[in-house]
Amino acid sequence: MTMLLQTVRPNIVQAIRAYRVDDLMQAAEDVQQHFLYANLTGAQTKQDVLERIAESFLFPPHFGKNLDALYDCMTDLVNKAGAQPGFVVVLEQLPDNPRFDREAREQLLDVFRDAADFWAERRIPFRCFYSFR
């Protein structure tokens, strides 16, 4: 499974496409990187999505449930915890509806793109995969 991650740029946000969640989880484990998974089935709004991510990623109770707070949790908070081996993040079943439209999805994914850039500056791999429902 280690080969799987070698075929994906180390700091990227991309559609999950041909990858399976179980394979990504195993690949992360094989290279001892953090695997963060959020199943967003049932989430309808930006608030729902942020709450599910916070619960799934075990964010602290004071998480502000906004995009700035999400960025802080994905970068500064983790960076202050010490050396990091890398990250494989999966956001499965992002909503596609009028209450969470294309603009909302792009804003959310931009946070993960910014996090990928943050970690790239520190030479830490950060790969984020997503799917829509």
Q: What is the CATH number of the domain that holds 117?
A: 3.30.370.10
Q: Per residue of the chain (133 residues), what is the pLDDT tens digit?
A: 557 888 889 999 999 998 999 999 999 999 999 999 999 999 999 999 999 999 999 999 889 999 999 999 999 888 888 889 999 999 999 999 999 999 999 999 999 999 999 999 999 999 999 999 8
Across the strands, what pairs with 69?
Answer: none
What confidence score (pLDDT) does residue 55 get? 96
pTM over 0.75: yes
Domain span at residue 113? 38-123+129-133
Assigned domain for 23 exists: no
What confidence score (pLDDT) does residue 82 get? 86
Assigned domain for 81 exists: yes
What confidence score (pLDDT) does residue 133 get? 83
What's the token pair of residue 68?
Answer: 């700035």
Assigned domain for 55 exists: yes
What confidence score (pLDDT) does residue 99 get? 95
What confidence score (pLDDT) does residue 2 get? 56
What confidence score (pLDDT) does residue 97 get? 95
Assigned domain for 2 exists: no
Assigned domain for 84 exists: yes
Assigned domain for 27 exists: no
Report the number of distinct structural domains present in the chain: 1
Assigned domain for 106 exists: yes
